[in-house]
Structure 1
Amino acid sequence: MSDIKLNWKRNFGIIWAGQFMSLISSSLVNFAIIIWLSLETGSAEVLAYAAIAALLPQSIIGLFSGVFVDRWDRRKTMIFSDGFIACCTLIIALLFHYGNASLWLIYTLLAFRSAGSAFHMPAMQAAVPMLAPKSELLRVAGINQIIQSVSNIAGPALGALAIGFMDIAYVMYIDIIGAVFAIASLLLVKIPHPKQEKQTSTGSRQLFADMQLGLKAITSNKGISLLFLFSVLATICIMPIAVLFPLMTLEHYNGEAFHMSIVEASWGVGMLIGGGVLGVLKLKTNKVTLINYTYLLMGLAFAISGLLPAWAFWIFVLLTTLSGIAGSLYNACFTTIIQQNIDPLLLGRVFAMFFSISLLPSLIGLLGTGFLADTIGINVTFIILGTTIILIGVCSFLSKEMLPLGNQSELDDSPA
């Protein structure tokens, strides 16, 4: 049993402390930018372009970034990614400070930040099974959900508070401070790197060969292929709903900004509860079965939200909390299944490919979300997309090839 395995709780404690500071500062700054753009332009189109700039590069680069994540030292990859993102944030802050923050420059730097994230996210997910015993991966994923949930709850509130008390330029510096904490925490730990196979070629030929290995890891196992397929289809439905939550609150439930913040917080609270359950308890339920139930729960919550009358706002809040719990359980179970069933040498590219494959069609769907909601109504859109997610869950239940993935033996406590 290696020293790294014996000290895995200490190592994760250090990493989580740094990542928490980074996540909450990024959440704060992201929300502050949304507020600033809203106040300065009052344009939904501007917000849509900013969202696309922040997501599209990450989804495109993710198709091949995982290859490099698997080749490079994962700790150094996270450090350099955090540093690059911090440098982009510093440039944005300086542009704000000197009054030169044109929209196209903001879009460009948001895109560069997104490119850095394309390397950080898969590196972090691929590093987890190199540190933690297999039997603890689900709990680790649950604690990660707790950290993300607290960031999602506190970040927007702190962002609104910060932009009310200081100039947007100084708000941006908070994200840089968070990145410094994240980098410092990574410098204090060691992350093993799986032994690499000798490469027979170089350049673009090797790059595509490595990408094909990642794709083969997904397609060669019918259970994993189906798991990916259903997850991508569900994400395509969930992304538009996530964008429509504020408008659903304002238009269907006749709410105000205060009610929007309640709905936003209720989703975060739900994810916090789900992550807490996984972080404290060692659930014995088949993880694929749990995922299937989360599809049904989320779909029902969204569909019922669209059917409720305007006076039922607090029921909508409760349903949003339940969907947050389902989302937290789904994310943790999906991540754990991949970490347990994919060769550590391929984890970086598999996670990166999944993110890209699920996000690219979702972004296309986002472009038509406004038209769909304006044409048939926001509540009807919730009903249609929620019902579709329920059908995905039913099909997933009927696909027995995935069940063995959720029964993966966790008796081996060596790092995955």
Structure 2
Amino acid sequence: MKNQKWFRTYIFIWTGQFISTLTSYAVQFAVVIWLSLEYDSAEVLAFAGIAGLLPQALIGPFVGVFIDRWDRKKVMIYADAFIAFCAFAMTFVLKEGGDLLLVYVLLGCRSIGNAFHTPAMQAVAPLIVPESELLRVSGINQMLQSVSSIGGPALGTLAITFFSISNVLYLDVFGAVAAIGSLLFVTIPRLDATAHSSMSTVLTELKDGFSAIYSNKGLGFLFLYAMIATFFIMPVAVLFPLLTTGHYAGGKWQMSLIEIVWGIGMLAGGSLLGMARVKISKVILVNTMHIILGFTFVLSGWFPPSWFPGFVLVTTLGGMSMSIFSAAFMTTIQEEVEPHMLGRVFSLYFSMALLPSMVGLLFTGVIAEIIGVTNAFLISGTAVLLVGIVSFLTPALMRLGKKDEKQGNFQPQNS
């Protein structure tokens, strides 16, 4: 009964989060389509990406300290409400013609909400889920996100075909209401924390978050390699629509198809982890997925324009590798770090991974114009592939999690 109770609680939370994620994907993709067709500019897409990520990267480390001190359930509720408010405000901006500066500002405000919501959600799982089930729950998490990434672009494309971009944004408000509603009916354990939050205390706890990462040499390498990979992945992620429309001569529906098959791949990867008790080391999964993801980027840039079906196929494989990487990576952190430190550690990771990628995004327009979109895929893919190879050659990283495996965390369940 206890196992059924935690599972019911977690699924109930994710029912609301699923609706919210689905509508967010729809709105996000609708905005990408609108920007792509309205401006046809790599720089506009890059600046939109920076606006949506930079605030989260800058305030993330400090946010994590407070997430570990506050009620994580309330953090998620307030963050969802703030994100919905930003979407509501953006509807008025776009009705007035879509001033790009105001769009960037509101995307930045949404990023602040995500800075609180994303690490809080990741830090909730270990408070509810038994440690032996974390990888499988991460797989379920990836499945739900994958379904959203499949349905979201389709919903967003359909919505922007029949409605104005300002009206499409109301989907985000509806999703936030669903997410908040699901959280109101569940109980999430709250960790004890001191109420005093002076600046010196915050800085001390922030330092503790860094120590939790770098006192564990293997975990430090895991973070470092993930940051390097993200530096090359982020500019390529922004250029996917331009690769589809430019190199492969696609349109609105082709862009949507690429997003959908990426989500199908993520669903397949999440399903594999969610339904099966995987015995392979999570570190091996992380490293292998880096290699596969890099290889799919290389192929995407190497295929000739007539090979759009091949582009669809390797994008599906890329989505699958990204899903397995994310689940294995997050589970490794959840197992290696104490629950009362997870908010800080997740926030630090999201910030440390995003800040270097901002540099790449700043030069996205230059990259697209000087070396070309296809060459950007070739170079970035090769770099990510090499990160995976170097990871296998790092002893401290390869030893990470060996203690957990010996204790039987990956043993099959009794039927």
Question: Which category describes the TM-score, using the shorter chain as reference length?
Answer: over 0.9
| 1:202 CA drift (Å) | 4.1
- 1:82 and 2:77 aligned: no
Correspondence for 1:48: 46
| 1:101 CA drift (Å) | 5.1
Q: Which runs of 5+ in 1 are unaligned?
A: none
Q: How has the CA–CA distance of structure 1 residues 300 and 163 changed in structure 2, closer, same or farther, with 3 Å as cutoff?
A: closer
Name which of 354, 358, 365 aligns with 1:370: 365
Q: Is the 8 A contact 1:143 1:278 kept in 2?
A: yes
Which SS does the other structure have where 2:118 is aligned? helix
Q: Is the 8 A contact 1:289 1:406 kept in 2?
A: no
Which SS does the other structure have where 2:246 is aligned? helix
- 1:271 and 2:266 aligned: yes
TM-score normalised by structure 2 residue count: 0.92
Please give the residue correspondences for 1:136-285 in structure 2 after superposition, counting only pairs within 5 Å. 136-196=133-193, 198=194, 202-285=197-280
Correspondence for 2:413: none
| 1:395 CA drift (Å) | 1.0
Q: How has the CA–CA distance of structure 1 residues 105 and 248 changed in structure 2, closer, same or farther, with 3 Å as cutoff?
A: closer
Q: How has the CA–CA distance of structure 1 residues 250 and 87 changed in structure 2, closer, same or farther, with 3 Å as cutoff?
A: closer
Identity of paired residues, percent? 49
Correspondence for 1:109: 106
Q: Is the 8 A contact 1:58 1:115 kept in 2?
A: yes
For residues 181-200 of structure 1, what are the alpha-carbon distances to aligned partners after superposition, in whole Å with 9 as ceiling and x for unaligned? 1011011111112233x47x
| 1:92 CA drift (Å) | 2.1
Considering only aligned residues, what root-mean-square deviation do their CA atoms show, in Å?
2.1
Query: Relative to structure 2, which stretch is displaced further, 33-42 or 329-338?
Result: 33-42
Distance 2:42 2:296 in 1: 26
Q: How has the CA–CA distance of structure 1 residues 231 and 50 changed in structure 2, closer, same or farther, with 3 Å as cutoff?
A: same
Q: How has the CA–CA distance of structure 1 residues 103 and 245 changed in structure 2, closer, same or farther, with 3 Å as cutoff?
A: closer
Q: Is the 8 A contact 1:138 1:332 kept in 2?
A: yes
Which SS does the other structure have where 1:14 is aligned? helix
**Partner amino acid for 1:168?**
I
Q: How has the CA–CA distance of structure 1 residues 41 and 354 changed in structure 2, closer, same or farther, with 3 Å as cutoff?
A: same
Q: Is the 8 A contact 1:89 1:175 kept in 2?
A: yes
Distance 2:41 2:188 in 1: 45
| 1:174 CA drift (Å) | 1.8
Q: Is the 8 A contact 1:270 1:324 kept in 2?
A: yes
Distance 1:344 1:210 in 2: 14
Correspondence for 1:13: 11
Q: How has the CA–CA distance of structure 1 residues 103 and 303 changed in structure 2, closer, same or farther, with 3 Å as cutoff?
A: closer
Distance 2:261 2:97 in 1: 37
Name which of 270, 287, 293 aligns with 2:288: 293
Distance 1:166 1:258 in 2: 16
TM-score normalised by structure 1 residue count: 0.92
For residues 157-204 of structure 1, what are the alpha-carbon distances to aligned partners after superposition, in whole Å with 9 as ceiling and x for unaligned? 2112222323333322221111111011011111112233x47x6421
Q: Is the 8 A contact 2:146 2:264 kept in 1?
A: yes
Name which of 391, 394, 400 aligns with 2:389: 394
Q: How has the CA–CA distance of structure 1 residues 388 and 146 changed in structure 2, closer, same or farther, with 3 Å as cutoff?
A: same
Distance 1:289 1:145 in 2: 18
| 1:235 CA drift (Å) | 0.9
Q: Is the 8 A contact 2:157 2:253 kept in 1?
A: no
| 1:249 CA drift (Å) | 2.6
Paired residues, number: 408
Distance 1:287 1:278 in 2: 11
- 1:28 and 2:26 aligned: yes
Distance 2:235 2:92 in 1: 33
Q: Which runs of 5+ in 2 are unaligned?
A: 411-415
- 1:93 and 2:91 aligned: yes
Distance 1:24 1:141 in 2: 18
Distance 2:303 2:34 in 1: 33
Q: Is the 8 A contact 1:275 1:329 kept in 2?
A: yes
**Partner amino acid for 1:25?**
T
For residues 27-74 of structure 1, what are the alpha-carbon distances to aligned partners after superposition, in whole Å with 9 as ceiling and x for unaligned? 112222333444555554333322221111111111211001000011
Q: Is the 8 A contact 1:292 1:394 kept in 2?
A: yes
Query: Relative to structure 2, which stretch is displaced further, 124-133 or 363-372?
Result: 363-372
Query: Relative to structure 2, which stretch is displaced further, 259-268 or 69-78?
Result: 259-268
**Partner amino acid for 1:77?**
V
Q: How has the CA–CA distance of structure 1 residues 186 and 41 changed in structure 2, closer, same or farther, with 3 Å as cutoff?
A: same
Q: How has the CA–CA distance of structure 1 residues 122 and 387 changed in structure 2, closer, same or farther, with 3 Å as cutoff?
A: same
